[in-house]
Structure 1
Amino acid sequence: MLLLTKHDIENIFSMKNAIDSDKTAFKLFSQNKSVVPLRTNIDIPKLSGQSLFMPAYVEDIDSIGIKIVSVFPKNVENGMPSVPAKMILMDGKTGDVCCIMDGTYLTQLRTGAGSGAATDVLAVKDAKKGALIGTGGQAECQLEAMLTVRNLDSVKIFDMNLERAQEFCTKMSEKFAKFGTEISVAKTTQEAIENADIITTVTTSKMPVIDGKFVKKGAHINAVGSYTPVMQEIDEYTIKNANKVFVDSKDAVLSESGDLIIPINKGIIDKSRIDGEIGEVLLGMIEGRKNDNEITIYKTVGIAVMDVVTAYDIYNCALKMHMGTVIEL
C-alpha cells in the first residue's frame, strides 16, 4: 500500500493535470459509467461542523474509493485546515486498499479543478477580470484553477476578515507570480464582482454573498461553497435570471445545496432551472455558453467520482515517478 502526502502530490500532479482528471470524471458520471451514492453527512452541531463519507466506483479505471472528509470552519481560527480529509483508494479488481493519500489537499485540488473545468468550457474566451469570494482552505486552488484556464489581468479577493484577505493576496501574489495577474483586496463583494468575467464563491455562508444586480453580462459564476440545504451563497435573483445553470450532479445538488433548494422551496424556480450537468456539456450532449452576453453558473457540491478519478491518476503518477511511502499492514 502506498502513502502519499500533500507534498508528494504537489510534486507530481499539477492543476492542469487535475482539471483533465475532473473533465474525465464529469464525463464518466454523465454517461452513467460510475456508481456514486449520495454522501453520508453527519452533523457536529457544537462545533458547527460536518463529517462526510463519500464512496464511488468507476468501472472504466477499475477503481473504488471512499473519501472521509470533515468541514470544520472554526479550524481556520487555530491555523488548521477547515477541511481535513483522507482518501482511501482501492483496486477495483481485488477490492484491496492500494493507496491512502492526503484527502484535504485532494479535496482542494479536485474542487478547484472542477471549477477550472467548468470555467474552461463556460467562461468567455477573452476573460480578463476575476473575483474570488472567501479565503478559506479551498480558496487557493480555486484561484489557481481560474488563473490556469484564463489569462487574467486581475483578480479581486473578498473575505469578511479584511486582514485575512490581505494576507491571502500577499501570499498568492508571490506564489502565482508566474501568471502575471494583479491580485488585490476588495473591501466589499460589490467591488469584487463588478465587471468581473469570472466569479468564484467559496464560503460556508447561509446568506447570499453576492448581489446579482452587480453581475455583468457575460460573466461566469462558480458557486462552490453551499453544500447543505441551509447554505446559500448565490442570491435568488442571480439563480432565476442567469441564462444557463449547470451542475456537477443534478441529484446531489437538488439534495444538498441551498443555492437551489431554497429558491425552489420558495416557488421562485423549479427543478427545470438546471440546464444540465457539466459532464453533458463536456460530452457535447448539450450546449454550454451560446454567446458572450450570457451569464452562466456552475453549481457544485462535489461528487465522489471526482475524488476516485483524480486519486487514481495521482496514484499512477506516483508509481511511475517512485514517489510516496510503501507500507505493509
Structure 2
Amino acid sequence: MIVLTSNNLEELLTPEIAVSAVRQAFSLFSSSRIIQPQRQLLTIKGNWWGIMPSYWDKSVTVKIVNVIPENKKKGLPSVQGAVLLFSPDTGEPLALLDGTTLTAIRTSAASVLSTELAFGGRNIGTLGVIGAGMEARYHIKIASGYLKLSRIMVTARSSHVQLAKEFGAEAVDLETLLKNSDVIFATTSSSTPVVLGKFLKDDFHISSIGAHTPEAREIDDETVKKARTYLVDSLEAVSKETGDYMQPVRSGILKKAIEIGEIINKGIKVERPSIFKTVGIAAQDNITALTAYEEAVKRGIGIKVT
C-alpha cells in the first residue's frame, strides 16, 4: 500500500487529469456502472460527517469526510477527510489518500467540467468565486489551469483580498462579482443565499458546492427561476441533502433537473443560463483516487507502507 499526501495529489492530479477523472466518474455513475450506497450521515459535536463507499470493476473506495466550520479559527481547512482505495479482486488496500485535498480537487474539477459543458468549450470570460477557503483556492487553481479566463474576481466575508493577490485576481464586493461574472463558483459555508438572481447577467453559469443540508441555501429562488438548465451530480443525493434543490422543488419553482452524467453520456447540449448543484458523490472520489494511484505507480510517487 502507498500513502499519497496532499503534495503528492497536487503533483499527480493536474487540471487536465482531474477533470478527465470526474468526467469518467459522472459517466459511470449515471450509467449505473459504479455503485455507491447512500452515504451515512453523522452529526458529531454539531458538525457534519459523511461515510461514503463506492465500488466498480476496477476499484473499491471508502471516504470519511467532515465539515468543521470552526477549523477556520484554528488555521485548518474546514473540510477534513481520508480515502482508502482497495483492489476489488484481492481485497487488499492499495492506497491511503489525503481526503481533504482529494475532495478539494475533485470538487473543483466537477465545477470546471460543468462550466465546459455549459459553454461547449473552455473560453469562458469572467469567473467569479464566492468564498476564500480551501475550496475557493482549488477552484481558482483548477479553473485557471483548464479554462480560458479573461478575468477572475473573488469575494468573501474575509481573507479574499489575500486569495485574490495569490492568483492575480480582483478582490471585489459581492454585488460587483454577481453583476460582472459569466461563471460563478459558490464555495461557501453560508446557510442563506449568496447567489442573488436580481444582480446576475442574463446569461450565466453557476456551480454551487455548499448548502449541504436541507435547510441551507447558496442560490436564491430568483436565480433558479432564471435558469434554463439545472444540472446535478446525483438526483437521489440532492433530493435528500441540499436545500438548493429540495426547497425549489417543494415550492414548485424547479420543475426539472438532469444529472451531469446523463449530459455527458447522451451528448445533450446545455442551455444557459444554467446551474450545477453538487453535493459530491462517492463515484468522484473513487475514480479520482484510482487515477491518482495509477499515476503514482507509473511515476514512483508516494510513501510505501508494509
Question: Which category describes the TM-score, using the shorter chain as reference length?
Answer: over 0.9
Give the aligned length.
305
Deviation per CA, 1:26-75: give whole Å up to 9, x if none: 100111101111211111354xx21111110122xx20001111110110
Structure 2 distance, partners of 1:21, 1:242, is: 27
Q: Which residue of 2 aligns with 1:273?
A: 256
User: How far 1:327 sits from its partner (Å)?
Assistant: 1.1
- How is 1:114-129 mapped onto 2 (pairs within 5 angstroms)? 114-123=110-119, 125=121, 126-129=123-126
Deviation per CA, 1:218-261: give whole Å up to 9, x if none: 21110111211122000011112211101110000111011011
Structure 1 distance, partners of 2:94, 2:77, is: 25
- Determine which of 101, 104, 115 is the counterpart of 1:105: 101
Structure 1 distance, partners of 2:107, 2:17, is: 13
SS of residue in 1 equivalent to 2:201: coil
User: How far 1:95 sits from its partner (Å)?
Assistant: 1.9
Decide whether the 8 Å contact of 1:123 with 1:219 is kept in 2.
no
Q: Does 1:286 align with 2:264?
A: no
SS of residue in 2 equivalent to 1:281: helix
Decide whether the 8 Å contact of 1:165 with 1:185 is kept in 2.
yes
Q: Does 1:37 align with 2:37?
A: yes
Structure 2 residue identity aligned to 1:54: M
Structure 2 distance, partners of 1:240, 1:219, is: 13
With normalisation by structure 1, the TM-score equals: 0.89
Decide whether the 8 Å contact of 1:226 with 1:257 is kept in 2.
yes
SS of residue in 2 equivalent to 1:9: helix
- Determine which of 174, 185, 202 is the counterpart of 1:217: 202
Q: Which residue of 2 aligns with 1:184?
A: 170
Q: Which residue of 2 aligns with 1:177?
A: none
- How is 1:305-316 mapped onto 2 (pairs within 5 angstroms)? 305-316=283-294
Q: Which residue of 2 aligns with 1:166?
A: 161
**Cα distance change on mapping 1:327 and 1:150 into 2, 3 Å:** closer
User: How far 1:314 sits from its partner (Å)?
Assistant: 0.3
Deviation per CA, 1:122-157: give whole Å up to 9, x if none: 136542111101111211111123223421121111
Q: Which residue of 2 aligns with 1:57?
A: 55
User: How far 1:10 sits from its partner (Å)?
Assistant: 1.7
The alignment yields a C-alpha RMSD, in angstroms, of 1.4
**Cα distance change on mapping 1:221 and 1:155 into 2, 3 Å:** same
Q: Does 1:147 align with 2:144?
A: yes
Decide whether the 8 Å contact of 1:63 with 1:91 is kept in 2.
yes
Q: Percent identity?
A: 31
With normalisation by structure 2, the TM-score equals: 0.96
